[in-house]
Amino acid sequence: AFEAAGATLVATDSSSGRLSGMFPKLANTADHLLADGVDITHPEAAQAFIDETLRRFKRIDVLINTVGGYRAGTPLHETSLETFDLMMNLNVRSMLIMCRAVIPTMLKQGTGKVVNVSSPIANHGSENASAYSAAKSAVARITESMAAEYKRAGLNINAILPGTIDTPQNHAAMPEADSSTWVTPNALADVILFLSSDAAHIIQGVLLPVTGKG
């Protein structure tokens, strides 16, 4: 979606070679940067990635934090601390680290947009999903706080709250579910693209539900 809109794309992935395989025509070009094998839950790795971005392109206009993960299915007393740590690291720590690395540049520019990914579960607890619910709630509250902190500096900070996303992983995990009500990745991309555009310059601190027909 962003490529079709004419954007210069900078993307990273923790796995080696996956991004290049997904977007071969964007790899190894001067117009875009695909950085494989970067774990952005580590501040040093994230900062090096951002430093390379600025060296190449001199500015960062939009930050989209899509790194996240889901683990649930047990009541609190059966939920391991490893699960809590994993949910916080993937969903919250990754966002915090990237925002801390990018926002100083946006402040110098006097402009920038950040789109985070939370979840409808951020607004209420859910049975057997305490760790995930807490993590996504943290994303939502941090988004609201950032919006208040940076709105007078020319930055727009918002988040989307997707429903169940129509992915192969979710089909495999829920084979009996009615996937006709799920949200497609393309539809999410359209919403994120809008929040990243000049048309959304007056939207600030919004937690936008994107739940499809579900």
Tokens matching residue 182 = 């799920």
Pairwise CA distance, residues 3 & 178, whole Å? 31
> For residue 16, what pLDDT is reported?
84
Tokens matching residue 162 = 């997707």
Query: Angle at the Cα of 153 (from 62 to 34), degrees rounded to 5?
Result: 15
Nearest to 213 by CA among 180, 168, 185, 190: 180
Q: Quick one: residue 132, left, alpha or beta (phi over 0 = left, psi -120 to 50 = alpha)?
A: alpha
Pairwise CA distance, residues 202 & 62, whole Å? 15
pLDDT tens, residue by residue, 184-202: 999 999 999 999 999 999 9
- Phi and psi (nearest 5°) for 83? -65, -45
Tokens matching residue 73 = 């299915």
- Residues classed as catalytic: 132
Mean per-residue pLDDT pooled into runs of 10, the chain (214 residues): 95 90 89 93 97 97 95 95 97 98 98 97 92 97 98 97 90 88 94 97 96 75
Q: What is the mean pLDDT of the chain?
A: 94
Q: What is the value of pTM for the model shown? A: 0.94
